Amino acid sequence: MITTNRQDYVKDLYEVLFEFCTGEGLEITHFQSQAESEFFDDITINGKSYSYKNEFTPKNTLELKRYEKRFSKLALYTSLEDYLGISLTWGALTGIRPVKMARDLGDNFERDFTSIFKVSPKKIRLVKDVLNVQKSFYDKNSEYSGLFIGIPFCPSRCLYCSFVSEIISKTKLINGYVESLIKEINALENLENVRSVYVGGGTPVCLSNEHFESVLKAVKNKVPSGVEFTVEAGRPDVITKEKLEIMAKYGVTRVCVNPQTFNDKTLELIGRKHTSSDIKSKFFLAKSYGFKINCDLIAGLTGETLNDFKYSLNEAIKLNPENVTVHTLCLKKGSVLKTETLRLEASDIDEMIDYSYSELTKNGYNPYYLYRQKYAKGNLENVGYAKKGEECVYNVDVMEETSTNYACGANAVSKRVIASENRIERYGSPKDIKTYIDKVDVIINEKKRLFE
Ligand SMILES: C[S@@+](CC[C@H](N)C(=O)[O-])C[C@H]1O[C@@H](n2cnc3c(N)ncnc32)[C@H](O)[C@@H]1O
Ligand code: SF4
């Protein structure tokens, strides 16, 4: 329980607390005050007191707020570190984009990550690796843009997943959704600078062949030819020859075939309706069309040991895909797992994440983008690895918020990057599929205003 005089930062303080533990049994107070350029943060944890002083002269109100928040979070982090006797691998750094933050800190990144945020050397090395790979195509001038198309339907729900999606066989909204989506795509303007497209979900390939083809055709008609074009095919149980032929016909270049794990027992337990041998056969089928392939894995799946994870990672490497993305299991509201478990214990997760870094880098893959999520096991990260020159530009542009993103579909968030003013304007479409269908004309108009 946290009591603070800075109610505007209470959510941020809880974020720091939850990185350590559930907060059970901890009574925390925080009081922040300021005298000219001196900022004072007083913390008590179950009666034990800590005091901090920072000197700083803000240039404007925005900077003042940013630093007040930072000082509050750092004070709580440092106090909890002492009180609980635990250090975290990402230190006091919260938020989903550590690489973006490192870039904003410029030459001071290593110094500030180490001395202010107390980030561990291995995570600093990871950020440095990613920055190094991104150098070749990172460009913060919003000259390029990306296009996202969301298909929120799946063949069945996986136990851990909280993405907004409906089971396709149980919904009557498909026709209305595809119609609205195509209307939204057709209404987009000025897409000549799009350099990457991502059709994601959900599971886009669980649509009927006709619906799937009509969506890809609408996209193809809007974007320059030769763009990077990803379809998150996802589940091997719904990847078919017909779907792959449609993808080839409309210029898809990259396909995600996602194992999550190669252990059949776990696949059954998490509600994936496919086996590890399905993964392999669909992987080679997709490969035969010449697509680049990404494989998603999740570290820390229910019941899996370090050896189980090592097995999955080694199997993925044997397939030799262009990209491997390693996610850390996280507990999100909306997943079945969240309703059954309060907090994920870290167990072997550190070793799993370390093993994926060492094995993938040994086998010619480099980490090229990374992000963190709240409530991830052991507070660890998700990392995309790629063979040299095979990085997915879309993932980097979106994660680093380097370029404008046109997003279509329920729950899609469009972003206009205004690089000259160092700010981003956003428009989020409704999560609920029925509301999205009913509001599509309003959405089209509001997005026009965002991009005009
Ligand atoms: C938007 S999901 C869609 C993928 C596709 N439908 C599939 O199942 O293969 C993208 C990825 O997020 C990851 N993911 C989903 N829920 C997760 C969770 N709770 N913790 C960690 N990773 C998660 C999975 O690896 C998944 O492949
Ligand atoms: S992991 Fe993929 S298939 Fe499973 S519920 Fe989530 S989006 Fe759907």
Pocket of ligand 2 (CB under 6 A): 154, 157-158, 161, 163, 165, 201-203, 234-235
Average pLDDT of the chain is: 92
pLDDT score of 342: 44
Ligand 2 centre from 233 Cα, in Å? 11
Give the residue whose CA is nearest to atom 3 of ligand 2.
154
Buried b (16+ CB within 10 A) or exposed e, 239-253: beeebbebbeebebb
CATH 3.30.160 in the chain: give the residue spans: 1-86
Q: How confident is the model at residue 268 (pLDDT cuts 50, 70, 90)?
A: very high
Select from 162, 203, 256 the residue to mutate for testing ligand 2; criterion: most ligand atoms less than 8 Å from CB.
Answer: 203
Ligand 1 centre from 162 Cα, in Å? 9
Find the ligand nearest to 157 CA: 2
pLDDT score of 370: 95
Q: What is the pLDDT of residues 174-226, one digit of tens each?
A: 999 999 999 999 999 989 999 999 999 899 999 999 999 999 999 999 999 99
What atom in ligand 1 is closest to the CA of residue 332? 19
pTM: 0.91
Q: What is the pLDDT of residues 27-58, one digit of tens each?
A: 999 999 999 899 999 999 999 999 999 998 98
Is ligand 1 within 6 A of the CB of residue 138? no
| Arithmetic mean of pLDDT, 414-438 | 93
Ligand 2 centre from 203 Cα, in Å? 7
Q: CATH assignment of 145-438, given 3.80.30.20, 3.30.750.210, 3.30.1780.10, 3.40.50.2000?
A: 3.80.30.20
What atom in ligand 1 is closest to the CA of residue 297? 25
Give the residue whose CA is nearest to atom 26 of ligand 1.
296
Ligand 1 centre from 260 Cα, in Å? 8
Q: How confident is the model at residue 419 (pLDDT cuts 50, 70, 90)?
A: confident
Is ligand 1 within 6 A of the CB of residue 163? yes
| Arithmetic mean of pLDDT, 245-266 | 97
| Arithmetic mean of pLDDT, 390-401 | 92
Cα–Cα distances (Å) from 369 to 244, 313, 386, 388, 397, in that order, read: 27, 18, 9, 13, 10
pLDDT score of 336: 60
Structure tokens at 324: 């491997």
Find the ligand nearest to 327 CA: 1
Q: What is the pLDDT of residues 81-134, one digit of tens each?
A: 999 999 899 998 888 899 999 988 898 999 999 998 999 999 999 999 999 999
CATH 3.80.30.20 in the chain: give the residue spans: 145-438
Q: How confident is the model at residue 335 (pLDDT cuts 50, 70, 90)?
A: low
For the chain, give the percent of residues with pLDDT over 70: 95
Give the residue whose CA is nearest to atom 4 of ligand 2.
158
Q: How confident is the model at residue 328 (pLDDT cuts 50, 70, 90)?
A: very high
Are the C-beta atoms of residues 276 and 237 closer than 8 Å to each other?
A: no
Q: What is the pLDDT of residues 295-314, one digit of tens each?
A: 999 999 988 999 999 999 99
Q: Please tell me which of 11-15, 288-292, 395-399, 448-452 the model is most confident about, judged by mean pLDDT.
A: 288-292
pLDDT score of 383: 97
Is ligand 1 within 6 A of the CB of residue 198? no
Give me the CATH topology for the region 1-86: Double Stranded RNA Binding Domain (3.30.160)
| Arithmetic mean of pLDDT, 344-353 | 76
138-152, 266-280, 360-374: lowest mean pLDDT where? 138-152
Ligand 2 centre from 250 Cα, in Å? 24
Ligand 2 centre from 147 Cα, in Å? 21
Tell me how far apart the alpha carbons of residues 237 and 50 are, in angstroms, rounded to a whole number. 55
Give the residue whose CA is nearest to atom 2 of ligand 2.
202
Find the ligand nearest to 328 CA: 1
pLDDT score of 377: 74
